[in-house]
């Protein structure tokens, strides 16, 4: 699926997650740093598109001509269906879940997302469609304190009537955020446990 430094040689034709659908040629390898230099031909730019990959980002390299993001494993090696199925096993219709803003300016020690109560929003799951891998949610606030700006896991327990809907229902977006498969509302990620885990979990067991 993905390639390592040892798998490629200068002159090989490869593809990269950083630039979907574009064929690259390996033009250089640096044994000391583990860097692989890629270059793609272009009719406009004589130097073509250029991408440098290092040991930490070598998971972005493949010899498969994937032009759709759905084929790609993310930076932990997981595909979107693994992440989606794990999330829906943990949740049910009517449940209130928290989402956290992904702050790409500061990466925490455990991953690219640090759950901060000030950066959280609450959503109620209104439907789960397994056939189309679609989850519909609506934003909610606490009925007894609708102006609260900080929410944590302790606040989401309790009866459903303590939450008031504050907006329309809409489907969660399934896509990559910081090269990690995410179920999100804009930059608010609802599968934040996957982001705070140090590594992926391709077995499908809870992280």
DSSP 17: T
Please give the pLDDT value at position 30. 96
Confidence of residue 150 (pLDDT cuts 50, 70, 90): confident
> Taking Cα atoms as reference points, which of 39, 10, 35, 47 lies closest to residue 23?
39
Name the β-bridge partners of 135: 128
pLDDT digits (tens, 9 = 90+) for 74-97: 999 999 999 999 999 999 999 999
**Per-chain mean pLDDT for the chain:** 86
**Range with the poorest average pLDDT among 73-77, 84-88, 104-108, 160-164:** 104-108
Query: Does 147 score more than 50 pLDDT?
Result: yes
CA atoms within 13 A on the CB side of 68: 4
Please give the pLDDT value at position 117. 83
Q: How far is CA 72 from CA 39, 108, 188, in A?
A: 20, 24, 22
Higher pLDDT, 202 or 126: 126
In the chain, count H helices and then E strands: 2, 13
Element (H, E) at 181: strand 180-185
Look at the chain and count its residues: 207
DSSP 56: G
Tokens matching residue 167: 């907006």
Higher pLDDT, 53 or 144: 53
d(CA 201, CA 86): 10
| pTM over cut 0.95 | no
Residue 182 phi, psi (nearest 5): -135, 145
Residue 34 phi, psi (nearest 5): 75, 15
| Rg (the chain; Cα; Å) | 20
List, in order of start, the domains of the chain with CATH numbers: 5-71 (2.30.30), 80-196 (no CATH)
Other C-beta atoms within 10 Å of 117: how many? 15
Higher pLDDT, 32 or 2: 32
Pairing of strands 35-40, 19-30: antiparallel
d(CA 150, CA 139): 15
Please give the pLDDT value at position 203. 33
Please give the pLDDT value at position 176. 93
Please give the pLDDT value at position 204. 33
């Amino acid at each position: 699926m993905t390639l390592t430094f040892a798998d490629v040689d200068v002159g090989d034709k490869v593809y990269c997650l950083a630039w979907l659908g574009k064929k690259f040629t390996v033009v250089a390898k640096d044994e000391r740093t583990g860097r692989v230099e890629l270059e793609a031909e272009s009719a406009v730019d004589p130097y073509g598109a250029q991408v440098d990959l290092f040991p930490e980002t070598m998971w972005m390299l493949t010899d498969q001509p994937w032009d759709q993001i759905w084929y790609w494993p993310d930076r932990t090696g997981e595909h979107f269906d693994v992440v989606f199925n794990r999330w829906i096993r943990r949740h049910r219709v009517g449940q209130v879940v928290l989402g956290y803003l992904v702050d790409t300016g500061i990466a925490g020690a455990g991953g690219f997302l640090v759950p901060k109560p000030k950066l959280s929003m609450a959503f109620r799951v209104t439907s789960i469609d397994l056939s189309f891998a679609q989850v519909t949610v609506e934003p909610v606030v606490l009925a007894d304190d609708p102006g609260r700006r900080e929410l944590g896991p302790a606040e989401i327990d309790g009866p459903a009537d303590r939450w008031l809907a504050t907006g329309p229902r809409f489907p969660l977006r399934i896509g990559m955020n910081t090269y990690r498969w995410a179920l999100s509302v804009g930059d608010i990620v609802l599968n934040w446990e996957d982001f705070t885990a140090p590594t992926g979990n391709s077995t499908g067991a809870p992280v």
